[in-house]
Chain A
Amino acid sequence: MSIHEDHRPLDRDAAELLLSGDPAARAARPWLGAVLAAAGSPGAGAALPGEDAAVAAFAAAHTPTVRPRRISVLKTTLAKLLTVKVAGACLAVAGSAGGVALAASNGALPTPLHKAPHHAPASASHSAHPHPSGTPSARPSHSFPPADFFKLCQKWDARPGHSQDDPDFGDLVKKAGRDHIDRFCTDLPKPHPSGSFSSQPHPQPSGSASPHGSGQPGPKPSSLPSGSAKPEGR
């Protein structure tokens, strides 16, 4: 067989067979068969230049609807969160400022207003079971709420014949006045000796509780009525 045979006239049917890759037809026309076979040879199947770009485009086109949306959703969510946070921070600042202003106007500055309700019931339960010991160390020594005086009075009463000059009773002397300790202690209400929380509003006459120094985190007259009414109602 020789390529001379390609010079035979080509009919349409033979052309169709050549085009569709018919082996016999291509063998019968070696030249045309070789050209068509070479032109139509399959790729090596190996990586081709541009393949990675095409695959990247494919990946971008298939994760695409998801990815940009996810990002935008994230952004939106972040933006919302930030807005909420900022708004919250502003509210918090405004709120605390307002709270301070309110507390100041009520004359109740040192003790946060919102804490009183929590302490009132707690003190009620505590007052039912006096805890005479362990409290002094729990609060600053310079603070002397009624409970401390009660203890001092107990101490005072427990040691007849002691001196008012005993440094242990210095504060009591200061508070009650020299030579008036016995009376002071007698007048001191006994039923609420708990003293575990010096700043609790105890259900006691405000008059006897408030006398000591200003600026103490002691019971406020304004918080007393509610504080005393509830626990005792139970």
Chain B
Amino acid sequence: MCDTYEPPGAEGLGVLMAVDDDELVQAAQRGDEAAFRAVYRAQQPTLLRYLTVLVGGDAEDVASEAWLQIARDLPKFRGDADGFRGWAATIARHRAMDHLRHTRRRPVAAVPVELVAADLPDPLDTAERALETIGTDAAVALIATLPRDQAEAVMLRAVLGLDAESAGKVLGKRAGAVRTAAYRGLKTLAQRAVTPDAPAALRGVR
């Protein structure tokens, strides 16, 4: 069964996930270790990015705790692959809140934009070039500079792929509130776009 779910290359997993996300989650629920591994590989990167927005450098640790709970509670989960993403995000968020409570810290302060700017495309680059060069970490760091409710809304929707309703369940908010927060976040991000005539936009915002 390992052979079924764990092809050697990355593409194999990608294809598998694309072909049958729901079945993979179901297989993992039945205890299929290879299926769980595939689910992990598909889910962990975006979950980690979401957690980075919440707890910064502690994201890996919190993600580990979250996966322990996911692994343990997976048999109890009811739903499809979309539902699983929301469920996993909810668990991750709870673990992040616990972590912040225990460390008596407030959610990560918005990352200073200067730190992000270094990773962003050269101001002279065209949009096409920007698309090629902007890195995932820089993009996440940029989103993390948003107020937390906006950052979370953008991450859950654009990165974890949840719709407004699902994201609302994760956040304990109504779908409309999530839409508004995400909208405001995108507007802010748009203003921070690195442009030749507006380089100060990056440095000026804290």
Which A residues lie at the B interface, using CB under 8 A?
1-7, 10, 12, 15-16, 18-21, 29-51, 53-55, 57-63
Contacts and interface: CB of A to CB of B under 8 A. Distances in A.
Contact of A34 (B13, B36, B49, B131): B131
A57 B31 CA distance: 12
A202 B49 CA distance: 98
Contacts, number: 170
Given A19-B157, A39-B49, A61-B72, A7 B190 contact: yes
A48 B59 CA distance: 14
Given A19-B154, A35-B134, A50-B44, 6 more contacts: A1-B128, A3-B195, A32-B186, A32-B193, A33-B131, A54-B67
In the A-B complex, the 3 residue pairs with the closest CB atoms: A30-B127, A43-B45, A45-B10
Contacts of A41: 136
Interface stretch (B79-87, B99-107, B137-145): B137-145
B24 to A, nearest CB: 13
B105 to A, nearest CB: 22
A16 to B, nearest CB: 7
Contacts of A62: 31, 33, 71, 75
Interface of B: 9-14, 17, 28, 31, 33, 36-37, 40-42, 44-46, 49, 60, 63-64, 67-68, 70-72, 74-75, 121, 126-128, 130-131, 134-136, 138-140, 142-143, 154-155, 157-161, 163, 179, 182-183, 186-187, 189-191, 193-195, 197-198
A interface majority secondary structure: helix
A15 B186 contact: yes
A15 B180 CA distance: 10
A58 B41 contact: no
Contact of B127 (A20, A31, A40): A31
B31 to A, nearest CB: 4
B interface majority secondary structure: helix
Contacts of A12: 179, 183
B194 A3 contact: yes
B187 A48 contact: no
12 contacts: A12-B183, A31-B189, A32-B189, A34-B139, A39-B49, A43-B46, A44-B45, A50-B67, A53-B64, A55-B71, A58-B28, A62-B33
Given A15-B187, A35-B142, A43 B44 contact: yes
B92 to A, nearest CB: 12
A170 B31 CA distance: 88
Contacts of B49: 39
B134 to A, nearest CB: 5
A204 B160 CA distance: 103
A40 B154 CA distance: 10
B136 A38 contact: yes
A31 B127 CA distance: 6
Nearest to B43: A43
A59 B71 CA distance: 8
Nearest to A44: B10
Given A32-B186, A39-B136, A55 B40 contact: yes
Nearest to A41: B136
Given A43-B42, A51-B40, A57-B72, A15 B182 contact: yes
Contacts of B74: 58, 61
A58 B127 contact: no
B189 A35 contact: yes
B127 A43 contact: no
Nearest to B131: A34
A16 B134 CA distance: 22
